[in-house]
Amino acid sequence: MSQQLADRINEVLMGMVIEIKVPAERRIFLTVSADNLLDVIRKLRDDFGFYHLSTISGVDTVKNFEILYHFANSQCCITVRVVIHRENPEIISICELIPGAILYEREIQDLLGITVKNIPDPRPLLLPDDWPAGNCPLRKDWSYQAPEEKIPGEKK
């Protein structure tokens, strides 16, 4: 069943899919370019009923970043993978298609430092407003510097 669905998806997306895999029943993985992301998600939503965005996750592979969009419907779960370059890490917002994506996109901006273009609300979500720019906790090159502990009323 999953292979037939993957074949239909590949046929409908004609040339927008870089790679498609079916690693297990009810699981499909697509790799697409950032330029085709909105068109692919629109087709998956409108033609195949993938309305439910489970989550968006980001991975620092040291060489690049991968953004993974996890969708589900009654037939299967599908992951749309986009590889973006580390030198200019940016991706287009999918909020125009899936409004609930905003929280995940804000999280990606905070923790990986990836710019999400056209995001309706770019404010930090998880990190404090005074968090230093360019200090991205989920990047592999980030190192944590513990602040000096201050105990109120401590004798010096």
Write down the pLDDT at residue 130. Answer: 82
Confidence of residue 21 (pLDDT cuts 50, 70, 90): very high
Can you tell me the mean pLDDT for 45-69?
A: 96
Architecture of the domain defined by 2-117: 2-Layer Sandwich (3.30)
CA separation for the pair 126, 144 (Å, rounded): 16
Cβ atoms of 39 and 19 closer than 8 Å? no
**Which letter, b or e, does each residue of 40-66 get, where b requires 16 or more Cβ atoms within 10 Å of its Cβ?**
bbebbbeebebeebeebbbebeeeebe
Confidence of residue 71 (pLDDT cuts 50, 70, 90): very high
- Six-digit token string for 109: 């901006």
pTM for the whole structure? 0.88
CA separation for the pair 69, 41 (Å, rounded): 9
Examine the pLDDT at 156 and tell me if it is beyond 70.
no
Can you tell me the mean pLDDT for 22-28?
A: 95
Write down the pLDDT at residue 137. Answer: 87
Examine the pLDDT at 154 and tell me if it is beyond 80.
no
